[in-house]
Structure 1
Amino acid sequence: MAENTFILEVITPEEILLREEVQFVVVPETQGELGVLKNHAPMIAALNIGVLRYTDAAGEVKKVAISGGFMEVIYNEARVLAETAEKGSEIDVLRAQEALKRAKRRLEQRDESIDFARAQKALQRAIARLKAADAYNE
């Protein structure tokens, strides 16, 4: 392992999405964003829907859309346990744009049968996916 790197793992119920040496990671924590470097103090944090950004060992910035979860940092390993996670480079942008349109339409309706909390989360997930894919321009 390089001198200034640590291990980042992103795990969902379905798979280990990534396990990489990284220089830096920023996660969407419930109170804002949280950054982690090598030798960070041990901690556990709750995560929101949003974009996890990290700088890999080669210095390239990469993004992952996550739908909430938790992060544990201990012994130079940051482990993200996410409800869902998708690498920005693998996101189907057209599908994410359609999800964004559907969520906006639901939120604009003033129908009592609409679950607004669920529609709001769908909107947040679609925005996170588009941001991770560098395709959000609103």
Structure 2
Amino acid sequence: MADKTFRVDVVSPDQMLYSGDATFLRAQTTDGEVGILASHAPLFSELAPGGCVVVTMADGTKLAVAAQGGFLNVTGTDVKVLAESAQLADEIDLAAERAALEAAEEGTAAYLQARSRIRAVEAVS
């Protein structure tokens, strides 16, 4: 099983959101949604506005992060998610974010942030 895992670090400027082993990582990038498994080819991509990152940890549990801006860096042995700002799904008030999404104009920063947070919560619901 150990050869099927890889190291993942999810960070924002103000905090380390996750650091540990994973079996799978899914992220929305500006090039489309990508899935990462152990030994994935090197990749560097920009995270999509309004997207999220979902990490399947080595024990099978999922961790979702609403990430606004930043980059995904994949090497042969590890993955780094470098977000401009990020929030864990379990810290998000889904009702408040749905209200914010409806109140915001499509394409604005507020709209994209709410959409990102809703996606993160729904990814682990």
TM-score normalised by length of structure 2: 0.86
Amino acid at match of 2:112: Q
Aligned to 1:125: 113
Listed as ranges, the matches of 1:30-45 within 5 Å are: 30-45=30-45
Listed as ranges, the matches of 1:69-88 within 5 Å are: 69-88=70-89
Residue 42 of structure 1: how far off its partner (Å) = 1.9
Amino acid at match of 1:101: E
Is the CA contact (8 Å cut-off) linking 2:46 and 2:69 kept in structure 1?
A: yes
Distance in 1, matches of 2:92 and 2:31, equals 26
Residue 101 of structure 1: how far off its partner (Å) = 2.9
Aligned to 2:65: 64
Aligned to 1:27: 27
Larger Rg over CA atoms: 1
Amino acid at match of 1:59: G
1:18 paired with 2:6, answer no
Residue 36 of structure 1: how far off its partner (Å) = 1.0
Q: Say which SS state the counterpart of residue 99 (structure 1) adopts.
A: helix
Aligned to 1:91: 92
TM-score normalised by length of structure 1: 0.78
Q: Say which SS state the counterpart of residue 3 (structure 2) adopts.
A: coil
Q: Say which SS state the counterpart of residue 3 (structure 1) adopts.
A: helix
Query: What is the total number of aligned residue pairs between the two structures?
Result: 122
Amino acid at match of 1:102: A
Note the alpha carbon deviations across 1:110-135, whole angstroms, 9 max, x for none: xxxxxx75x2x321220120121129
Distance in 1, matches of 2:122 and 2:71, equals 24
Distance in 2, matches of 1:70 and 1:31, equals 12
Distance in 1, matches of 2:61 and 2:15, equals 23
Identity %: 35
Aligned to 1:52: 53
Aligned to 1:101: 102
Is the CA contact (8 Å cut-off) linking 2:25 and 2:55 kept in structure 1?
A: yes
